[in-house]
Amino acid sequence: MQQQETPTVESIAALVDHAILKPELTDDDVAADLDLAGRWGVFSVCVRPSDIARSVARLDGTGVATGTVIGFPHGTTSTAAKTAESRRALEDGASELDMVLHIGRLRSGDLAAVTDDVAAVVAVAEGRVVKVILETAYLSDEQVVAGSKAAEAGGASFVKTSTGFAGGGATMHHLRLMRDAVSPAVRIKASGGVRGLATLLEMRAIGVDRFGTSATETILTDVQRLAETGTASGASDASSY
């Protein structure tokens, strides 16, 4: 469990992977979101694979890393496809990979297949951060635990709740299950429904290390307001990711 601290814009921004993943986003939309991420100094952006190169170029000099998604959003592509996608993403400049595990295999109890799928992407990443998305909305508690353990067995750096596209999102219950299921060496990422500062801080207090959200500006503006007035607005973002 993480020790609570007084939030600052810098400390909260350092926990954020700003999500730029909606399929309908135009080039101008993506550029605006990349500029927002650079302006706030978040840890990273998580972009669609086709946007990696432009993200790396536009964020050059900002200190904001570029991550991307693999097998997104369903996780049902073959391991060969996931590894090929991972290689191309790394060639284009991605520094972190958020892969969706094979949800159907996990629900079928084929944990060896799930572990091998993760391990193949981890091998391609060659030491770079790999986050494994469980898609908790589709899983029982037992499957959340089993998926977390399989991700760790495959060498994942993080286990992550959700894509944000399956209905539902990160919950305190699932995050506690995930934190308890893996060793301290594996970190936890909450995504889907992280729309406000209060939610983020509550999750941080139980050991969540990173947050995927499109509500970055809402959250960080609330941090600023809290520092200035002692009161956050409590406003929330309408999007699911």
**Which residues carry out catalysis?**
98, 160, 189
Beta strands in the chain (DSSP E): 16-20, 44-47, 65-70, 96-100, 129-133, 158-160, 187-191, 210-213
* Beta-sheet pairing, 129-133 with 158-160: parallel
> Residue 158 forms beta bridges with which residues?
131, 187
> Residue 18 forms beta bridges with which residues?
45, 213
In angstroms, the CA 208 to CA 202 distance is 9
* Amino acid of residue 240: S
Task: Assess contact for 79 and 120: CB atoms under 8 A.
Answer: yes
